[in-house]
Amino acid sequence: MNASEKVERFFKTAINYYGKDIAIPSDQFFCIDQVVDPEKVSQGVTPYRVQYGFPKTGAIRVDFSYSDDQDELVIDGVKVFAIPAKHGKDMFTSYPHVEKDVYGVHINVGLDNSTVEHTTLQAIDDNPNAVQFIDTATADLMQAVVLGDCALNVEEGSEFIPCSCSSPYPHEETQEYAY
């Protein structure tokens, strides 16, 4: 399967969770956001993005839009942040579990893995780490559990409106979903 097919598979898997709060096996970040762009919206196009992971540790981001006139979704761009191929096939795909503090807040702190941004399908195909990251992200999302509807608050003036979000699977010792 080439990079184009892998990106399409990732996108189709991710878009199934539009509007949902999900739990995934890894501690990776996942979201689908509407991008606030009044000019594009006035032209009948609503921009969105899907992101899995963080750029410093490994991520895939798919920018897409919905056209009112065409009633279709169009992928506008893809970025994969992955360890360069010259470093071998190593990747960091989860964060250590952080215990809840008094207020029940979790803090995910990533590492800097010297990832490189890949913005073309050829660049993604040329780096086995980028290809592997897409496969890992897709496999993780395929194991998601829907917790309910996404109900994140949006601050006034925000550049993004959350449409989907994720939490890690419950940890055995607490059997609670980590929020």
Q: Is the dihedral of CA 103, 140, 64, 41 positive or negative?
A: negative
Q: What are phi and psi of 47, to 5 degrees?
A: -85, 145
Domain assignment present for residue 178? The answer is: no
- Is 174 part of a structural domain of the chain? no
The per-residue pLDDT for 178 is: 46
55: containing domain: 3-168
For residue 36, what pLDDT is reported?
94
Considering its fold, how many domains does the chain have in total? Answer: 1
CA distances 148 to 18, 31, 113, 130, Å, are 11, 14, 33, 31
* Residue 112: per-residue pLDDT: 62
Whole-model pTM?
0.81
Cα–Cα nearest to 30, from 143, 172, 114, 153: 143
Task: Determine the Cα–Cα distance for residues 23 and 114; give it in Å rounded to an integer.
Answer: 27
Please check whether residue 65 lies inside any domain of the structure. yes
State the pLDDT at residue 88: 63
Query: In angstroms, rounded to a whole number, what is the distance separating the alpha carbons of residues 12 and 15?
Result: 5
173 lies in some domain: no
Mean pLDDT by 10 residues, the chain (179 residues): 94 96 91 95 95 91 94 94 76 45 49 82 94 95 94 88 86 49
